[in-house]
Structure 1
Amino acid sequence: MKSKLLKAVALAATMSMAAIAAQAQDIKIGYVNSERVLRESNLAKAAQAKLEAEFGKREKDLKDLEGRLRGAAEKLEKDAPTLAETERNRRQRDLIEQERDLQRKRREWQEDLTQRKQEELSAVVERANRIIKQIFDAEKYDLILQDAIHFSPRVDITKKVIDALNAQK
């Protein structure tokens, strides 16, 4: 009795698996590597160039200020033995104040850069998602995944998305 029941369950399971496998062959799946789209598309490269142009001067100014501050600190260290204590203390306070100012400016620059980068990348992602939706509809995909851990090159449509983004103006 148990053996007949086990055989019936095994037969039902086998038939279910066969039906699922047959259905699975009809499913069309695609994969898009978002990181690659954000790295290789012309739109993303243009956004990166725009950010570099927008924030490059501020970054250079910060590096120059840092260099001047480092030079002043080295000069103070060199001159410290010959300076009067009040003058040495005053210069140390000035350096500390300049260092705080530099750190504040660097933080502001980083926050502004991060915010603008988010804005630019959001625009690229939005356009990429529209392209992905167009491909999904036009080619009748059942499922398109982004950022999978493992995928087959057979389902990778990243190049198609990048090419479509690059073709847009």
Structure 2
Amino acid sequence: MSLRTTIAAAAAALSLGLPVAASAADVKVAYVDLQKVMLEVDDGKAAKTRLQKWLEDRQKEIDKEQNALRTEKETLDKQSSAMSAENKAQKEAELQRKVMLLAQKWEKSRSEAATKEQQEMQPIIQKIDGIIAVIAERDDLGFVLERRDSGIVFARSVHDISNEVIRAYNASKKTAAKDAPTKK
């Protein structure tokens, strides 16, 4: 069970047992904005840049094909009066087939983008989950809730550990790079 699933389950349990938890002043609760963390950690920024470039490249391909189809349609419209009905219908059917193929390519590209995003972000999310667990253990937190998924409407900023998670994540990358063996 991932930390995020555990947090969601804990949030549900916390909301059901809030009167009990409120009386037990020993329980410390914090929250984290995972969206903010993902966008601000160095690996998240790099992944977002890679994904954006990949998406832009795919969009350029699709735009180029779309413009070619537009030109082909304009040419067909200009020449249609000189064509036989059968030839015109055949050309229109071919153009329609190309439009459908382009639409399928666009849809496939969207699907690939979602898969690529998940592949890029999954290792980052796992590392973030680990850092949150370390902070929770260190600070003796009973719960760490995800700001958006937990249903938090209001919470004081002193309970937000998002910036601490970002700092710890980025610091762990620098420490890992410094401690990495060097070739001589």
When the two structures are superposed, what TM-score results if normalisation uses the length of structure 1? 0.78
1:56-71 equivalences under 5 Å are 56-71=56-71
Larger Rg: 1 or 2? Answer: 1
How far, CA to CA, are the matches of 2:27 and 2:127 in structure 1?
Answer: 26
Match for 2:61: what amino acid? D
Match for 1:121: what amino acid? M
Give the count of matched residue pairs.
150
How far, CA to CA, are the matches of 2:169 and 2:21 in structure 1?
Answer: 36
How far, CA to CA, are the matches of 2:159 and 2:93 in structure 1?
Answer: 62
The one-character-per-residue Cα deviations of 1:110-163 (angstroms, maximum 9, x if unpaired) are 111111111222222111101101111122212111133222212011111112
How far, CA to CA, are the matches of 2:140 and 2:39 in structure 1?
Answer: 27
Aligned to 1:140: 140
1:4-23 equivalences under 5 Å are 23=24
RMSD: 2.1
Q: Which runs of 4+ in 1 moved over 6 A?
A: none
Q: Unaligned regions of 5+ residues in structure 2, if any? A: 1-19, 174-184
Aligned to 2:32: 32
SS in 1 for 2:141: coil
User: Taking structure 1 as reference, are residues 78 and 141 closer, same or farther at Cα in structure 2, changes over 3 Å only?
Assistant: same
Which is further off, 154-163 or 33-42? 33-42
Aligned mate of 2:163, from 141, 153, 159: 159
1:82-97 equivalences under 5 Å are 82-97=82-97
SS in 1 for 2:133: helix
Contact map agreement 2:30 2:145 (CA 8 A) in 1: yes
Which is further off, 70-79 or 159-168? 70-79
Aligned to 1:11: none
1:48 matches 2:52: no
How far, CA to CA, are the matches of 1:85 and 1:155 in structure 2?
Answer: 73
SS in 2 for 1:168: helix
Contact map agreement 2:29 2:144 (CA 8 A) in 1: yes
How far, CA to CA, are the matches of 1:46 and 1:116 in structure 2?
Answer: 14
